[in-house]
Copies of this chain bind each other. A is one copy, B any other.
Amino acid sequence: MKIAFIGLGSMGQPMALNLVRAGFSLVVYNRTASRAEKVVEAGASRSNSPQDAVRDVDVAITMLADDDAVEQIVFGAKGDGSGILQALKPGAIHVSMSTISVALSRSLAEAHLSAGRGYLAAPVFGRPDFAAAAKLGVVVAGAEQAVEVCRPLFDAMGQGVAVIGQEPWKANVVKIGGNFLIASLLEALGEAFALVRKYEIRPEQFLTIINSLFRSPVLENYGNLIAAEKYEPAGFKLRLGLKDARLVARAADDSATPMPLASLIHDRFLASFARGKGEIDWAGIAESIAEDAGLASQKR
């Protein structure tokens, strides 16, 4: 089975490496060519264009920043048909692992179907360190047969593959819904920490107690970041959190689902971004919450 991997960012690079290490024959493409070196050293071959990369493969994986990037790669820079959709062999499968909008995933599904190419949506949960450790959670949706063809790839990149149904965009809904839950946790923790600080309770003390209540590694991890006000280096940048908040808002709007908490979170990320916090960790929305309460940073 020949594989193309397009998009070697902080997530894509370790994912591609894990595929090479698992013995798959990989051809890679990245806009910034230097990002490919590590994977090529490990045994992948390199291509100079997305179309060349996918021309002979059975499966093409894309792991890109956002809707725009995916649209350009799939349909060509000007929507002129110069993208990978045309370059793929009939019957080849495009696996879109990026966090993209439900709406785009839906139109990708339709475009691939019309063109006689396979399409799976397979977004992932987990940060770069999880990608490196092949511990990503993969959520897949699409035609059953295609899922089975690609399962060994998912197994090489993650632990645990959840298959969500035949309509590819459902996997994107799940990914967006999961991110919304994490963002909700950040907002809730930020507000709770501001409250306890106002009553002169140390956030660490509060965190210890709620950890024993919730016993969730996600809460513990983000709770520690917020208690320590450690927003740099960013594990996941706040401006990417804003991007995800937009994806939830869009999905909610398209499906006529009122989600006031999603709106609150979107406004929180927007305000944090507007106040210049776009490059810190997305847990840094807690800093905006503290500022709204008139609380000074405890670190300075």
CB within 8 Å of B: which residues of A? Answer: 102, 125, 137, 139, 160, 162, 164-165, 167, 169-170, 173-174, 176-178, 180-181, 184-185, 187-189, 191-192, 194-196, 198-201, 205-206, 208-210, 212-219, 246, 248-249, 251-253, 255-264, 266-268, 270-271, 273-276, 289, 291-294
Contact = CB atoms under 8 A, between A and B. Distances in A.
A256 B210 contact: no
Secondary structure type dominating chain A contacts: helix
Contact of A213 (B125, B255, B270, B291): B125
B258 A199 contact: no
A276 to B, nearest CB: 7
Nearest to A162: B209
A294 B267 contact: no
A294 B266 contact: no
B188 A170 contact: no
A173 to B, nearest CB: 4
Task: Report the 7 A-B pairs with minimum CB-CB distance, sorted nearest first.
Answer: A216-B216, A184-B188, A274-B294, A263-B263, A198-B255, A258-B271, A256-B274
Contact of A257 (B249, B259, B293): B293
Nearest to A290: B257
Contacts of A258: 267-268, 270-271, 274, 289, 292-293
15 contacts: A162-B208, A177-B210, A180-B188, A180-B191, A181-B210, A185-B188, A191-B261, A195-B252, A195-B255, A198-B256, A214-B216, A216-B219, A256-B270, A257-B270, A271-B293
A199 B169 contact: yes
Nearest to A216: B216
B160 A212 contact: yes
Nearest to A175: B209
A267 B275 contact: no
Contacts of A201: 164-165, 170, 173-174
